[in-house]
Structure 1
Amino acid sequence: MDVEQRTVGPAPVGKLIEKVAWIRLENGRVLTARSHGKPAFYLPGGKPEAGESPQEALVREVTEELGVTLDPATIAHAVTVEAAADGKAAGTVVRMVCFTAEGWGVPAPAAEIAEVAWLGPEDRDRVSAATAMVLDELVSAGLLSRA
């Protein structure tokens, strides 16, 4: 994947939530997940634990959420976005550092994940603000096309 490595979105105003996310493209769609009790889909991933590198967090979170094992040697930064955090107090911003990586296993809901879906740019109304920004970046990079 060849997405320009840059940060997209507003500068943090209030609390900043740091997350890592996996971008997996297949057949012109992006793999997304939805947590139990939440309406929006997001890119698989989560928050790094204390002392954990972003790459280690990515491998752990994707395994926990989807049962997919990522190959650490193939992890590459794709894009970083900043957006208003869904379901959080006004002024709370999520910074989502997105990576691509090869992996093995069939993505299936596990842990807090209720369902997975392969979505595209036409599904912006179903995804978090940060995920919508990533979809836009993938369209701009020519990796996804608008419906």
Structure 2
Amino acid sequence: MSCLVFIGLLVESIGLVAHARYLNTEQGEGAAAHYIQWTTFGNTYLARNVSLVLGLLISAVFFIWAPTGISAALIGIAAGLGMIIMLLVGRALFYILVVPTTMPGAFFWKNKGFEEHARDIGLAEMPQVGVVPDLH
């Protein structure tokens, strides 16, 4: 199982590195969001990446040297919780920083203009948008 976890985290880390390199050469909404991620949310971004590397190291150690007993269970539980938190932080960063292409220069998170725009064009009817539709 640790081998599969390692492969999954490795693929995710390669994807994140490739995406960051691409956004550093790009201009537009994605590059703007990446810049804000590095500056305003830099510590959160760094913590997420450090957690990813720690997850990679722990899964590699478990694959090479399979500990047994209660210590292995505790390490596995701690690593699993750490990876879940890392994934949730990654999703939160995405939803906080994504720039809506329907409203260039705007952000989704706590944006009253986007909320009104989503209601006007029907996006609010989709639950994944996170905007409460007009109820009256």
Q: TM class, shorter-chain normalised?
A: under 0.3
Higher RCO (CA 8 Å, separation ≥ 6 residues)? 1
TM-score with structure 2 setting the length: 0.25
Flag the structure with higher helix content. 2
Bigger-Rg structure (1/2): 2
**Which structure is higher in strand share?**
1
